[in-house]
Amino acid sequence: MDKQTTNRTAPAEVAAEAFQALQLPRHLTLAGLIAIVAARRRRRIEIEATGILNGTSICGLWLSTESREIILHAVTDSVLHRQQFILHELGHMILRHDELGVSQNYAASLFPNLDGEMVARALARSSFVDDMEAAAETLADLLAAAIRDSALEPKSFEQVFG
């Protein structure tokens, strides 16, 4: 038996089940995945690099509003790091982690100029030690592997030779 209690599912299992449920196409790109998640969430997804996160322990941040999903990530020259930051936040979206979180009143007291509900959802994911973070990171790894494997897979004859 794993270290999880019997009534909880291990983060790796949660991530694997969510990945399988996505039923992703054989040829997957980051842009294609973003479109899939946006359709599932019924909101557009905006992604922006921000220097505010550089030098902090947080590489990415997801803010959800009624009309859009916003992913902020640390500035990096590495395409792979950027992709992993984004995939991690997409993992939170896929796993519906916005439905869990800290008190809106507490969040509003910390950041009075921002919407308490939005801050509460972001703060709920501030530590890598909890199960939600582990599940989101594991799902991000599975998504990265799917994108990588899609890029390595030979394309059809028509795509190669026109």
User: pLDDT by residue (tens digit) across 32-67?
Assistant: 999 999 999 999 999 999 999 898 888 999 998 889
Residue 106, domain member (yes or no)? yes
Give the pLDDT of residue 97: 85
What's the total number of domains in the chain?
1
pLDDT at residue 111, rounded to an integer: 58
Dmax (CA) of the chain: 60
The rounded distance, in Å, linking the Cα atoms of 28 and 3 is 34
Residue 22 belongs to a domain: yes
For all residues of the chain together, what is the average pLDDT?
Answer: 82
pLDDT category of residue 82 using cuts at 50, 70 and 90 = very high
Q: Residue 143: pLDDT above 70?
A: yes
- Residue 71 pLDDT greater than 90, yes or no: yes
Residue 136 lies in a domain: yes
Q: Token pair for residue 150?
A: 């899609």
Contacts of residue 35, defined as CB under 8 A and 6 or more positions apart, other chains included, come to none
Q: What is the pLDDT of residue 57?
A: 83
Q: Please give the Cα distance from 87 to 149 (Å, whole number).
A: 15
Task: Judge whether residue 129 has pLDDT over 60.
Answer: no
**What is the pTM assigned to this prediction?**
0.75
Whether residue 9 lies inside any domain: the answer is: no
Tell me if 8 is assigned to some domain.
Answer: no
Going by pLDDT thresholds of 50, 70 and 90, the confidence category of residue 154 is low
The range of the structural domain enclosing residue 81 comes to 18-149
- 162 within domain boundaries: no
Buried b (16+ CB within 10 A) or exposed e, 120-154: bbbbbbeeeeeebbbbbbbbbbbbbebbeebeeee
Lowest mean pLDDT, pick from 4-8, 68-72, 94-98, 121-125: 4-8
Q: Is residue 94 part of a domain?
A: yes
In a domain, 158, yes or no: no
